[in-house]
Chain A
Amino acid sequence: MYVLIAGGGKVGSNVARLLLRAGHEVTVIEQRGDRFTRLEEEFEHAVQRGDATELHVLERAGIKRPPDLVLAATGDDEDNLIICQLAKEKYGVPKVIARVNDPRNQAHFDLLGISPTVCATSNILALVEHEVPEHDLIHLLELRRENLEIVEVQIADNSPVAGKRVETLRLPDGARLISVMRGGESEIAVGSTELKPGDQVLAILQPGKEDELRRVLLKG
């Protein structure tokens, strides 16, 4: 596999090292002189200096072949977006992966069809929410391409659905319960599953349906 990596910071250089070790062909593009010198010592000809949003720099790095994958891992979201657009739409690169630095920019990547994306901040935040739940509804996973997300809800003692069977719930359109975890054991939620206080329920739903689901499961 030939992988072109834009940005030789911590993310880009570590990914490059692992891919090279696994026997793949890699080219890293790094703009900063100090970083480039350090990378060149380790990666030799597999690193090139330049601005990876410039067409001639991308072409010098072999984007016309094209690579099997372009990873845009710079610390600048605008650059990562443009690199992915150029790779996909100008050079026909079949797969791109973009790093999102500021989670607020995620919507721009979605709007412009750049997927998949990786955002360390969002991932960390999701873990924090899971470990230290401040909210009654925890986001576990976003299925961006499917436009669905998986959330976890804990059924409280005073929940209006405690003691009710799943088939009797008035769940919002676009939301389904997946499983119920009770006493350390998990089972698939079916119509006859009865919800009890303390249950940890996984649900799959369309983004934006959280409030409706919360109303059904938590507030009544």
Chain B
Amino acid sequence: MKAIVIGCGRVGSSIAKQLLQEGWDVTAVDEREDALTRLGEDWPGTFVLGHGMDVDVLRAAGIDDADAVVVSTDGDNTNLVVGQVVQKRFGVECVVVRVLDPARAKFYNERGLTTISPTSTAIEALTDTVRACAVGLRQEVTT
């Protein structure tokens, strides 16, 4: 199975390494060469230098026979556009897009683009943790 990870910051590089470990054939794409340092000196996967909006870069990364694409640059709008291009122009079925803004993530999710909002996830996790604390405190009071 072939995966392309577009945008290799903290999140993207970790996803790339994880997928590679699980046996995927991974190509990482980033416009900065120093993204390679995040992937590790011994990165055995492919690395393509360039911007995800550039169709030539996508082709060089092997978009035509990719099974999955993760779009995780630090720009929400870049991710949303690249995700749609990958889905609509290149027909990749499994496209996952990182979108920090929960409102935009929700809108595009409803339109058939799979978006993940780390902000929403963080809000939920933090709120749940506080709720759990509150339960603990209440129990302390009653006992």
Q: When the two chains form the complex, which single residue of B54, B78, B85, B104 contacts A111, counting CB atoms closer than 8 Å?
A: B85
Complex: how many Å from CA A105 to CA B82?
Answer: 11
A interface, CB within 8 angstroms of B: 53-56, 76-79, 81-82, 86, 89-90, 104-105, 107-108, 111-112
**In the complex, what residues of A have CB within 8 A of residue B101's CB?**
54
A82, B104: Cβ atoms closer than 8 Å: yes
Q: Assess whether A53 is in contact with B76, with CB atoms less than 8 Å apart.
A: yes
A78 with B81: CB separation less than 8 A: yes
Does chain A have a CB within 8 A of B138?
A: no
B window 38-96: CB within 8 A of A: 53-55, 75-78, 80-81, 84-85, 88-89
Complex CA gap A53/B84 in Å reads: 16
Question: Is B81 touching A56 in the complex (CB atoms < 8 A)?
Answer: no
Partner of B85 from A53, A55, A90, A108 at Cβ < 8 Å: A108
- Minimum distance in angstroms from A74 CB to a CB of chain B: 10
B89 cross-chain contacts in A, Cβ below 8 A:
107, 111
A-B contact count (CB 8 A): 46
Chain B: interface secondary structure?
helix
In which size bucket is the chain B interface? Answer: 10 to 19
CB-CB under 8 A from A78, the residues of chain B are: 53, 75, 77-78, 80-81
Across the A-B interface, the 8 shortest Cβ-Cβ residue pairs = A78-B77, A82-B77, A55-B103, A78-B78, A78-B81, A79-B77, A81-B81, A53-B77
- Which chain B residue shows the least CB distance to A86? B107
**B-chain residues with CB within 8 Å of residue A86 when the two chains form the complex:** 104, 107
CA distance A107 to B53 in the complex (A): 10
For B103, list chain A residues within 8 Å (CB): 54-56
Give the nearest-CB partner of A81 in chain B. B81
Are A112 and B88 within 8 A (Cβ)?
yes
Q: How far does the Cβ of B7 sit from chain A's closest Cβ, in whole Å?
A: 13
CA separation between A37 and B137, bound complex, in Å?
49
Please report the C-alpha to C-alpha distance between residue A111 and residue B84 in the assembled complex, in whole angstroms.
9
A82 in contact with B85 (CB, 8 Å): no
Kindly provide the distance from the CB of A110 to the nearest chain B CB, expressed in whole angstroms: 10
